Amino acid sequence: MLVTKYAGVLLMSVFVTACALGKPPSFSKGSSWTFPVVDGGGMLLAPVYIGSEGPFLFAVAPGALPMISWDLVRELGLVTWRGNRAAVGPDDTLVDWQWRESIVPELRVGDLTLRPHQMSVMRQDWTYNGVPIQGVVGSNVFDDTAVWTIDRDRMVVTLRDQASFTPPATPPIQTMSPDRRLPNLHQVAIRADADGEEVHLEIDLARRETHFFPWAVESAGLKPQAPGRDRYVVSTLTLNNGAEVRALPVRRFRDRRVPPNTLDGRLSADFFEAYRVTVNLHTNQLWLEDRQGYDVTAAARLSRWGPSYDCRSVRCASASLVRSSEGVPVLDVTRLRSTPAMELVFAAYDNNGEKNPALEPISVSLASGDSSVAFRSDRLHAYLGHELRVVDVTPFPAQEKSGLPVSAKLRFGNQALRAAPAQR
């Protein structure tokens, strides 16, 4: 049981002036820090340790309040108290609402350690593949004075202090200072042009879909993709560095926390997952770099969890597809060396050695005792004739409600099904 002494202590934000270019004051020693992430269907997730306990899976949301789940608060024996946060009421005016707060002892993510600090307590019941998401890594890690880069090829997040940062070669996008009318949002936003209409869009990497608020949909004259649907398309979105995005799908969405004439929507993971994203809030700049591709960065991605899960130099598993006697495709996955419980991600490559973008990745969860598993599914028909290669690995296999790893589970993209008995 982990009990904190810090109940009732309020940590004040430290404001750093432009001339102070050292590390953020709450960070451990160093000038750069890196932590591995998991793709949770667009939202990035990271393993977090609190004191000596963990790892716990947290959502990565750079603009969000840092949060910890009620379940984890109780498990660790943390003390909470009632706090207040500003919110937008039904009449679009700011009101105060009650919230629970807690002081979290030393928090570690990758090679970054944070001093004890305040986090809000969340009641959401989120899971990834059956694994509970126990909190949100937000503005506590993505500090205003640090530069952060999200690299979806290597599946890591890197933070740097100002002195060690070298800007990317691509033209920067100018970001806006936080809107003081939205004290409950710690947002990064940019100005853009949507079909001739200026819009202010929050950068929200924790959401899957790009949202436009109702007033932005109307002012930009967007047309629904189908009658009665809340899906629209922006013909041309021009960013303030001159870059253009064509046929951007958006969803009409209302957030009661955001009154009109503040923000017009959110640019989310479905847009940013095509880029390597770097943000420097100290200079109000954002850079988008084209991704290098999974094959180019495979070595770094497959080794990011350390030697126990390294599938780079020593292959950890193989996969083959055959037809059963009934004509149903059967996927055989064989573990080639002793490894902990893990989830393996396979991609389909054609006879020319090219990854087939039309076929979703296949994820296979293996418990620590699984040496060979087999799955049968009609959905595997499209994969016949392809080579299945391990392109990613995570230490978070599917879990039962009891918290125990599921023995043999197959997922197509974000969909999951339990293994069916394989009979040839």
Q: Mind listing the pLDDT tens digit of every residue in the chain (424 residues)?
A: 333 333 333 333 333 333 455 778 888 899 999 999 998 877 899 999 999 999 999 999 887 788 899 999 999 999 998 876 654 443 444 444 557 899 998 999 999 999 998 898 987 678 888 888 999 998 888 888 899 999 999 999 999 999 999 999 999 999 887 666 665 554 688 999 999 999 999 888 777 889 999 999 999 999 888 777 899 999 999 998 888 888 999 999 988 778 887 889 999 888 888 899 999 988 999 999 998 887 888 888 988 998 888 787 567 888 999 888 888 999 999 888 777 888 999 999 999 999 998 999 999 988 887 788 899 889 999 999 999 999 999 888 888 766 666 667 888 875 543 333 333 3
pLDDT of residue 82: 85
Q: Are 363 and 39 in contact (CB under 8 A)?
A: no
CB-count exposure of residue 126 (10 Å: 0-12, 13-18, 19+): middle
pLDDT of residue 21: 59
Which helix (H) or strand (E) segment holds residue 270: the answer is: helix 269-272
For the chain, domain boundaries: 32-164, 173-275, 306-418
| Cα angle 129-56-122, degrees, rounded to a multiple of 5 | 85
d(CA 68, CA 47): 13
Q: Are 264 and 258 in contact (CB under 8 A)?
A: no
The highest-level CATH class for domain 306-418 is mainly beta
Give phi and psi for 75, each to the nearest 5.
-60, -40
Strands 244-252 and 317-323 come out as unpaired
d(CA 103, CA 107): 11
Neighbours of 96 (CB within 10 A): 12
pLDDT of residue 96: 47
Q: Considering the domain 173-275, what is its CATH architecture?
A: Beta Barrel (2.40)
pTM to 2 decimals? 0.84
Q: Do domains 32-164 and 173-275 have the same CATH topology?
A: yes
The widest CA-to-CA distance across the chain, in whole angstroms, is 72
- C-alpha closest to that of 200 among 263, 109, 278, 114: 263
pLDDT of residue 313: 58
CATH for the stretch 32-164: 2.40.70.10
pLDDT of residue 179: 65
The three-class DSSP label of residue 300 is helix
